[in-house]
A = this chain, B = another copy of it.
Amino acid sequence: MAQGTKGVALSRRQLLRLIGVAGGSAVMYQAMTSLGFAAESTFTGVPALGPAPRGASVLVLGAGIAGMVAALELRNAGYRVQVLEFNDRPGGRVWTLRGGDRYTELGGATQDCGFAPGQYINPGPWRLPHHHHGILGYCRRLGVTLENFVQVNHNALLHDPVAFNGKPQRLRAIKADYQGQVAELLAKATRGGALDEPVTAQDQEILLASLQWWGALDRDYAYRPCFESSDRRGYDKDPGGGPGGAPVFSAPIKPADVLNSGLWGFLPLGELHDMQSTLMQPVGGMDAIARAFGRELGDSIRYRSKVLDIRQDEDGVTATYEDTGAPGIRQSARADWCVCTIPLSILGQIPMNVGRPMADAISAVPYTGSTKVGLQFNRRFWEEDDHIYGGISYTTQPIGTIGYPSHGYQSPGKSVLLGAYVWGHDADRFNAMSPAQRVAQAVEQGGRLHPQYRDEFDNGIAVSWHRVPGAMGCFAMWTEALREQHYANLCAFDGRIVLAGEHASYQPAWQEGAVNSALDAITRLHQRALASGGKA
């Protein structure tokens, strides 16, 4: 099979990327942590702070999730709280774009979102793992309605421009064939005596039975065209009704082609803890969470407030700021304590009198870039033609991901999908493009998975996180070395100032990190406030 051989030879280059990801725990820990994968929750309920010292006040900088959690709980404990927020909306990176929204990125490029009513994209977080108890708890308390977010769709596509000559494969086929062939190989080794040392004879018998069932092997422990394998990887002709209803089984891909395609690299993504089912999303867009917090906090939040300077003394903290609608007019806010949730990428540019350990930590942690592109199409061809309802297709092209909406199935009319979710060096290149170029790239690359793109594309919008005002990056990109050197210093109180946010957590990128960080920070703040004798 000449084509197969060619595919094998060329796809080895692609494979190196995947082997790199999987090549050793240290590298992997770093890579995964950077991608926000290493993130569960230790949330065990909101801490009972008890009453605040009489008259005590807190200045919260930033009305993202961390800032709003801190403000809400401190207010409820009796603190006087003021929040300064750069944007004209609550949520920070928790953000939803809809038709009619205008967005101007750093550099000045402005996009007007042309989505149809009810359509949206979440440029920031877009899913809620079931074990992120903190943020889910706030959804419950604040009345945010949740629905399912589909991560793994067996009918979605896996694509590499070289593997299988660029023809996308169904996830189910790659998954079934990889597992089946692994099971067959292990069954062969077991029966050949290769496991006689590590596995008892009795356990070998059970192992074989389990491999047969789990790997869809036949009675001879072979993974071959039959009912068992077709009922995992799909049929050539599906079972049907009436006299001609019998199915036709399909043939697995050759083991060497499965291995060399590298597409197995996408299989474990839904098994990483933060991507494991069940995942959820707020109905109507992730900013439902932000708006719920915003409603609750009311005019405790001052929007359009750009912090220019943060200065503490023995008695309190003063932030100087200007209204972004009236630049040049300096105003100030003062309180006994300050919870600063401004992303480090921004905070590093704001004068603040903290000691060297915290200052070094703030400047040490880089922020990862990422680009998301929302594409609106005239119809849900991915459902109508391709039978893909929600979930994610993956490609080794720079766009990385095509995320289909997990809601509104079979709705007529225009619909939006996530047309790109770009990481790493690819994100740097997307960052350098104009918004229109990013959208064009998403349409071109995505069209290799879905030829319908050509006829059905309507409009798009692109958010490149290094160009988002007030964020200048996606999330704090910790490494093990950085953690060791700076994490404790970043989290420790400096006088009357404490930092909070996903960057001050082991759950980078996730709202849950912001929640846990904020709750930890205010717990310590409260202890200090009490210890300082209740001074107002």
Contacts and interface: CB of A to CB of B under 8 A. Distances in A.
Interface string A479-519: 00000000110011000000010001111000001111111
A391 B239 contact: no
Interface in A23-77: 23-26, 28-29, 32, 37-43
Contacts of A26: 219
Interface string A266-283: 011001110011101000
A150 interface: yes
A240 B207 contact: no
A516 B244 CA distance: 11
Determine the interface band of chain A, counting residues with CB < 8 A from chain B: 35 or more
B152 A277 contact: yes
Given A178-B210, A524-B242, A227 B189 contact: no
A441 to B, nearest CB: 27
B153 A238 contact: no
A29 B227 contact: yes
B25 A226 contact: yes
A238 B516 CA distance: 11
A206 B14 CA distance: 12
Contact of A42 (B155, B231, B245, B513): B245
Contacts of A388: 130, 278
A131 interface: yes
Contacts of A226: 25
A42 B239 contact: yes
Interface stretch (A132-140, A323-331, A347-355): A132-140
Contacts of A397: none
A231 B273 contact: yes
A455 interface: no
A346 to B, nearest CB: 20
A445 interface: no
Given A231-B37, A240-B507, A273-B172, A264 B22 contact: no
A505 B239 contact: yes
A507 B242 contact: no
Given A25-B219, A206-B260, A259-B210, A280 B389 contact: yes
Contacts of A520: 240-245
Contacts of A271: 154, 175-176, 179, 232
B280 A515 contact: no
A113 interface: no
Contacts of A468: none
A18 interface: yes
Contacts of A231: 32, 37-38, 272-273
- Shortest 7 CB-CB contacts between residues of A and residues of B: A242-B520, A241-B516, A22-B213, A241-B517, A42-B240, A239-B506, A194-B194
Given A240-B516, A241-B518, 19 more contacts: A18-B213, A22-B213, A23-B219, A24-B219, A28-B228, A29-B227, A40-B238, A130-B155, A130-B388, A146-B410, A148-B148, A148-B150, A192-B194, A210-B259, A239-B506, A241-B514, A245-B505, A245-B516, A246-B506
15 contacts: A23-B212, A32-B231, A40-B247, A41-B238, A131-B387, A150-B278, A154-B278, A155-B278, A175-B271, A186-B186, A234-B273, A241-B514, A241-B519, A242-B504, A243-B492
